Chains A and B, each alone.
Chain A
Amino acid sequence: MSQIDFEAILAAENSFSELQVLDENGQVVNKDLLPDLSDDQLTELMSQMVWSRTLDTQATKLNRQGRLGFYAPTAGEEASQLASNYAMKADDFLLPGYRDVPQLLRHGLTLTQSFLWSRGHAAGNHYPAELQALPPQIIIGAQYVQAAGIALGIKKNKSGQVAYVYTGDGGTSQGDFYEGVNFAGAFKAPAIFVVQNNGFAISVPRKKQTAAPTLAQKAAAAGIPGVQVDGMDALAVYSVMKAAREYTAAGNGPVLIETLTYRYGPHTLSGDDPKRYRTKELDDLWKKRDPLTRMRAYLTAKDLWSEDKENAVVEQAKEEIKQAIAEADATPKQKVSSFLENTFEVQPQNIQQQVADFKTKEAANNG
């Protein structure tokens, strides 16, 4: 018999529980965690989630029609994405992953630009100075180490901002995930690291990423607080995120938040077929937990939401999407000479030569 009780140590390390405010029927199960949101704010948050669900449906159609390019579906993740973002301030710094376009849109990116990003047009990533965000990050984990840098910069600038960054469950296996949270912890920098655990990294289930029963507990390796929250519960996500913001902005260092969520659609629209790795039973189980259903029930009971209100949001979203696609269509075609000009601020001679060559070619093509 060992003198060290490893099973007891493991049990202590694994003592994490999921925070919830609303159950699946929209009933408040945890009054202590109920956020202090006005009726208008509650309605606004619900509108954002409905708007995002509509965008997902429409974007999927537009992708199928070839009118959008790269697209990572978001349906199911509205609470995780929009309620977390709703707790942040307009000048906080957002570092999104490739699925986190809804947060970027609420943070100030235009819909037209997000469509241009999807299509692969540089104008989609031309961020005005006041937009405190980076474009969606494709290299899983890179946004985490960069968030540590943004947060340290914020701390040095004493601007009172907070950096917030998202990755998925698979992303927690990356080295940059750990380095990012660990650096922010060592520098006591104001950052919130969100892990949106939707159960699958493409086809690989969460359990194949790690033996850890929660992802929130990975915060312990950085010596920072970790919280696991019901990611289908907008009020719980908002409350946890808001508390994390206050905690980290007060100079206490970073927080890691795991949201338990689900994506109803495929990983991306680039050929992934979830039927290969997910059952209908699992899909149905998570659809019962839908973030819109339970917020709808909660707000309807408070007489803050109705079918008419919802339809109005959907119609407005469709109209905005139509306009944005038209604007994206009208955006001038990209020029290689512009790419060259944007590669350096001061052009070395190879770039100067190639700019001249491409400008000649582009002029000939236009003439």
Chain B
Amino acid sequence: MAKKTMIKAITDALDQELANDDKMLIFGEDVGKNGGVFRATDGLQAKYGEDRVFDTPLAESGIGGLSIGLALQGWRPVPEIQFFGFVFEVMDSIGGQMSRTRYRMDGSRNLPITIRAPFGGGVHTPELHSDSLEGLVAQFPGIRVVVPSNPYDAKGLLISAIRSNDPVLYLEHMKLYRSFREEVPDESYTVPLDQAAVAREGNDVTIVTYGAMVRESLTAADALAKDNISAEVIDLRTIAPLDTKTILASLKKTGRVVLVQEAQKQAGVGGQIAAEIAENGILYLKAPIARVAAPDTPYPFGEAEQDWLPNSDDIVAAVKQVSEFN
């Protein structure tokens, strides 16, 4: 056990799964000798060889097709899309092909692919690096979308994703890579897919969130505690398909809910969660659902990030609004 950053936890997971399963492959742009643009695959090519960890030509769609073909030949691909803003180039491979292959082949083939991709704001990247596009891929039946919020979950969820015979999009928030350390076991372990976590227990209001907004929500919950508002924070972890049961169980207890995402209000998965609550939990509600999300513009120019991205103050305000509703 040692304190590790999220990026270290991710590298550990990749390392241990490469050792655990000799069919696992890592490939992408600059993931080999260079060790990845964030060092997520640092040292892995040296340790496992170029047959297992290798660079590809610069073409995301080709990487998607390569993954599908390799998976059908019995390999377990863990490709990387350098930044998730580049997902548009590979949208057919993800949404048109790999998410549907098991279904279209009547269950006769599986595609055990885990696509890793960094995203997320707060680190002043150039255009189309930080966009939260998880809402797009969350709409494809047949693929899971996983977004860890901390080093412990990052490792356990990634190992689960790699071992899954269903395709997984594993989205890594860039701001979380090195912003804090946490106790992470050295040995291999899994965190289950499809299950949200209660990141903080509370009784007055439920905050449902994921990714970097989990930390903001926990900060907000600390502030709210000083005002005697007890907030329960749900970290979705798998954002598609949703763990609706955990959300509803919390809502049943608190009666109030704030949905928090970094994506624009018209994007992300907040709308989907609101609809699930409206369908299955409306009688638990003591106040209307509130949403904290980014404005409906394209992702901001670097210098404007702090004005644009949702933060703990926005969450505190939203929680107070639903708490005061009678």
Binding site for B on A (CB under 8 A): 122-123, 125-129, 134-135, 139, 142, 144-154, 156-157, 163, 175-176, 179-180, 182-183, 186, 338-339, 341-346, 348-351
A148 touches B65 (CB 8 A): yes
Q: Is B141 an interface residue (CB 8 A)?
A: yes
Other than the known A125-B104, A346-B165, what 20 A-B pairs have Cβ atoms closer than 8 Å? A128-B108, A129-B108, A139-B92, A142-B65, A144-B65, A150-B73, A157-B73, A163-B69, A176-B61, A176-B65, A179-B61, A182-B62, A183-B56, A339-B103, A342-B103, A345-B102, A345-B110, A348-B238, A349-B241, A351-B241
What residues on A are CB-neighbors of B66 within 8 Å? 145, 148-149, 152, 183
How many Å lie between the Cα of A338 and that of B108 in the bound state? 12
Binding site for A on B (CB under 8 A): 51, 56-57, 59, 61-62, 64-75, 92-93, 96-97, 102-110, 141-142, 144, 164-166, 193-194, 238, 241-245
| Complexed CA–CA distance, A345 and B165 (Å) | 7
Contact B65 A152 (CB under 8 A): no
B69, B96, B107, B244, most chain A CB atoms within 10 A:
B69
Question: Are B69 and A148 within 8 A (Cβ)?
Answer: yes
Q: Do the beta carbons of B73 and A153 come within 8 Å of each other?
A: yes
Given contacts A142-B96, A144-B65, A148-B65, contact A346 B166 (CB under 8 A): yes
**Distance, CA A30 to CA B211, complexed state (A):** 66
Report the bound CA distance from A183 to B29 in whole Å.
Answer: 13
Q: Are B105 and A145 in contact (CB under 8 A)?
A: no
- With A156-B73, A343-B102 known as contacts, the answer to whether A348 contacts B241 (CB < 8 A) is yes
Q: What are 10 sample pairs from A and B whose C-beta atoms fall under 8 A apart? A: A122-B103, A125-B105, A144-B65, A156-B75, A182-B62, A342-B106, A348-B238, A349-B242, A349-B243, A350-B241
A123 to B244, CA, bound (A): 32
Given contacts A142-B92, A341-B107, contact A153 B75 (CB under 8 A): yes
* Contact across chains for B57 and A134 when beta carbons are under 8 A apart: no
Residues of B close to A179: CB separation below 8 A: 57, 59, 61-62, 65
Given contacts A145-B62, A343-B103, A346-B164, contact A182 B70 (CB under 8 A): no
Q: A149–B64 Cα gap in the complex (Å)?
A: 9
Q: How far is the CB of B27 from chain A (nearest CB, A)?
A: 9
From A128, A150, A183, A348, B57 is in contact (CB under 8 Å) with: A183
B93 neighbours in A (Cβ, 8 Å): 142, 145
In this complex, the member of A122, A135, A147, A149 whose beta carbon has the largest number of chain B beta carbons within 10 angstroms is: A149
With A151-B69, A350-B242 known as contacts, the answer to whether A343 contacts B142 (CB < 8 A) is yes
- CB B245 to nearest CB in A, in angstroms, measures 6
In the complex, how many angstroms separate the beta carbon of A335 from the nearest chain B beta carbon?
A: 12
Report yes or no: A149 in contact with B106, Cβ–Cβ below 8 A.
no
Q: Give the docked Cα–Cα distance between A147 and B93 (Å).
A: 13
Residues of A contacting B144 with CB < 8 Å? 344, 348
CA distance A180 to B107 in the complex (A): 26
Q: Pick from B70, B107, B241: contact of A342, CB below 8 A.
A: B107
Choose among A152, A179, A344 the residue with the greatest number of B CB atoms under 10 Å from its CB: A344
Instruction: Tell me the nearest residue of chain A to B64, going by C-beta.
Output: A145
> For A348, what are the chain B residues with a Cβ–Cβ distance below 8 Å?
144, 193-194, 238, 241
Q: Which residues on B sit within 8 Å (CB–CB) of A142? A: 65, 92-93, 96-97
Which residue from chain B places its CB closest to the CB of A163 in the assembled complex? B69
Q: How far is the CB of A256 from chain B (nearest CB, A)?
A: 16
Residue contact A139 to B244, C-beta cutoff 8 Å: no
Bound-state Cα–Cα, A341 to B166, Å: 13
- A342 CB to closest chain B CB (Å) equals 4
Complex CA gap A365/B68 in Å reads 38
A248 CA to B93 CA in the complex, in Å? Answer: 26
Q: A144 contacts which chain B residues (CB < 8 A)?
A: 65
Q: Answer whether A146 and B65 are a contact pair too, CB < 8 Å, given A135-B105, A342-B106.
A: yes
The 3 closest A-B pairs by CB, nearest first: A149-B69, A145-B65, A153-B73
Please measure, in the bound complex, the distance between the C-alpha atom of A156 and the C-alpha atom of B74, giving whole angstroms.
10
- Are A342's CB and B102's CB within 8 A? yes
Q: In the complex, what residue of chain A is closest to B100 when comparing beta carbons?
A: A343
Chain A residues in 8 Å Cβ range of B243: 349
Kindly report which residue of chain A lies nearest to residue B77, judged by CB atoms.
A149
Which residues of chain A come closer than 8 Å to B97, judged between CB atoms? Answer: 139, 142, 146
Contact status B67-A149, CB under 8 Å: yes
Closest to A334 in B: B106
A338 contact set on B, CB distance < 8 A: 106
CA distance A142 to B99 in the complex (A): 14
Give, as a whole number of angstroms, the nearest-CB distance from B81 to chain A. 14
Which residues of B have CB within 8 Å of A346?
Answer: 164-166, 193-194
Whether B70 lies near A153 (C-beta < 8 A) is yes
Chain B proximity of A131: nearest CB distance (Å): 9
Among candidates B141, B242, B244, residue contacting A343 with C-beta atoms closer than 8 Å: B141
Give B180 Cβ to nearest chain A Cβ, in Å: 30
Q: Is the CB of B59 within 8 A of A126?
A: no
Q: Which residues of chain B are near A156, meaning CB under 8 Å?
A: 51, 70, 73, 75
Q: Specify which chain A residues have a CB less than 8 angstroms from the CB of B104 in the assembled complex.
A: 122, 125, 135
CB distance from B233 to the nearest CB of A (A): 21
Alpha-carbon distance between A341 and B103 when the two chains are bound, in angstroms:
8
From known contacts A139-B96, A145-B64, A153-B73, infer whether A123 and B242 are also in contact, taking CB-CB under 8 Å.
Answer: no
- Shortest Cβ gap from A15 to chain B (Å): 27
CA distance A345 to B71 in the complex (A): 15
Query: Nearest A residue to B110 by beta-carbon distance?
Result: A345
In the bound complex, residues from chain A placing their C-beta under 8 Å from that of B64 are 145
Chain A contacts for B164, CB-based, 8 A: 345-346
Question: What residues on A are CB-neighbors of B69 within 8 Å?
Answer: 145-153, 163
Most chain A CB within a 10 A radius of its CB, from B57, B70, B71:
B70
Chain B residue with minimal CB distance to A174? B61
Is A350 a contact of B110 with CB atoms below 8 Å?
no
